[in-house]
Amino acid sequence: MKIKAIIFDVDGLMADTEFYHCESVKKLMSSYGVKLSRAYLVKTVGVSSKNNFIKIKKDFGVTESLKKLLAAREKLYLKIIKASDIKVFPGLKDIFEYAKKKGIKIAVGSSSIKAQIDVVVPLLMKSAGVRISYRKYFNAVVTGSDVKNTKPAPDIYKLVSKKLGVEPENCLVLEDSVSGVKAAKAAKMFCIAVKSEYTKNKDLVRADVIVNNLEKALKKIIKIGEK
């Protein structure tokens, strides 16, 4: 394929932010007397907060409104993430630099809401040594706030394609979750699944390529680009 754009998921792909997502959900629900197991929390990875809390309310009979749960979870998550010393995964900056060198457009495609992305991604860019605004660094940014249906629906990736002006068949997506892989393939894009601590045992077979880390993902990207 001719790679004209590389689209990055954020949580669990750029850095282990999934840990902080799970911690915020766990702490919030404990305040309602609900103890969530690690196995249950792992299933929330790659799913929008809205859909996660709809399920939690149903599974545990939580009567608090969805709106209040989402607001409280977001506040707690941002507090935790701002206090953390978060580091991007090895290889992320190398992929950025490869794309820039080759004239390949780069974009963010995340189910997280805009308010979270506007806090988290700048922290990740700083960790990666990128000093300019992430909105200027990336050619397009699409969040869960920009679409009606989040992953596994293809809406986010379709909108990224439209904003970039790049056809889906020329877009390569980097994902770490089952829902993200489904979204990328539903959008008819090439997808490299990068295993994470939370998704390494999940079924990622719908991806075109599965690798263990971003460094190996870059090797695959280079190989694809040479064809």
pLDDT in tens, 56-106: 999 999 999 999 999 999 999 999 988 888 899 999 999 999 999 999 999
- Calculate the average pLDDT of the chain: 93
The domain locations on the chain are: 5-16+87-226, 18-83
The structure tokens listed for 197 are 């601590």
5-16+87-226 with 18-83: one CATH topology?
A: no
**Distance from CA of residue 122 to its chain's centroid?**
14
CATH number for the domain running over 5-16+87-226: 3.40.50.1000
pTM of the model: 0.89
CATH fold for domain 18-83? DNA polymerase; domain 1 (1.10.150)
Query: Interior CA angle at 89 toward 85 and 93, to 5°?
Result: 105
Q: How far apart are CA 178 and CA 47, in angstroms?
A: 9
β-strands 171-175, 190-194 pairing: parallel
Q: How confident is the model at residue 48 (pLDDT cuts 50, 70, 90)?
A: confident
- pLDDT (mean) for 206-226: 95
Tell me if 211 sits within 8 A of 193, measured CB to CB.
yes
- Which tens digits make up the pLDDT trace of 155-209? 999 999 999 999 999 999 999 999 999 999 999 999 999 998 777 667 899 999 9
Tell me if 191 sits within 8 A of 173, measured CB to CB.
yes
What is the model's pLDDT at position 73? 93
- pLDDT (mean) for 34-60: 91
Q: How confident is the model at residue 222 (pLDDT cuts 50, 70, 90)?
A: very high
